[in-house]
Amino acid sequence: MKAKEIMVRQVYKVKEEDTVRAVIEKFLSHRISGLPVVNDRNEVVAYISDGDIMRYIGKHDDYIFGSYLYTAVIKGDNNEFQDRVRNLLPLNVMKIAQKKVIAVDAEEDIEQIAAILGKKRIKKLPVLNRGVLVGIISRGDVIRHSFQSIL
């Protein structure tokens, strides 16, 4: 079975010039946890997930490092949680999205897709045809299509 046979063709996505507010609105309205970020040619340039949001709004501790000659402290957060949440919304999505995107070709076999999802510990894979986004495959899609005929 190939990616093109099990992928979801209706892909929710955001443009690279969108704000994080647009991402959060799509997360909430469509009950999803990740979105490909595309350019004007519908090529995937990044991926943003709920984990990226959590890393931004979560508390950042002070980081202390030093050597024999000096010690430096990089201050963590002085802002309150609600301030970090509000400050995130107007940011450009590319400020926090992951630019190194793992994707699969529409002709990729399901067993290779399962291996990638498992080894890389990711939830979804954008599906590309000649570099253009044509679908998305989640862990659930692989499970459903792998086991539905034998259960």
Q: Tell me, what's the pLDDT at 119?
A: 94
Q: Tell me, what's the pLDDT at 66?
A: 62
H/E element holding 105?
A: strand 104-105
**Torsion sign, CA atoms 24, 29, 31, 32:** negative
- Rounded distance between C-alpha atoms, residue 143 and residue 133, angstroms: 22
Per-residue pLDDT of the chain (151 residues; tens, 9 = 90+): 999 999 999 999 999 999 999 999 999 999 999 999 999 999 999 999 999 988 887 765 545 556 666 665 445 566 677 887 888 899 999 999 999 999 999 999 999 999 999 999 999 999 999 999 999 999 999 999 989 878 7
Query: What global pTM score does this model have?
Result: 0.81
Q: Tell me, what's the pLDDT at 60?
A: 54
Q: Which residues pair with 2 in a beta bridge?
A: 109
Give the pair of three-digit tokens for residue 132.
Answer: 């253009």
Give the pair of three-digit tokens for residue 39.
Answer: 């350019």
- Residue 23's nearest CA partner among 11, 10, 36 is 36
Q: Tell me, what's the pLDDT at 62?
A: 47
Residue 116 DSSP SS3: helix
Q: Tell me, what's the pLDDT at 73?
A: 47
Give the pair of three-digit tokens for residue 147.
Answer: 């086991």
Give the pair of three-digit tokens for residue 74.
Answer: 């990089």
Q: Tell me, what's the pLDDT at 49?
A: 94
Q: Tell me, what's the pLDDT at 59?
A: 65
For 40-86, give the DSSP string.
TT--EEEEEEHHHHHHHHS----EEEE-SS-EEEE----S-HHHHHH
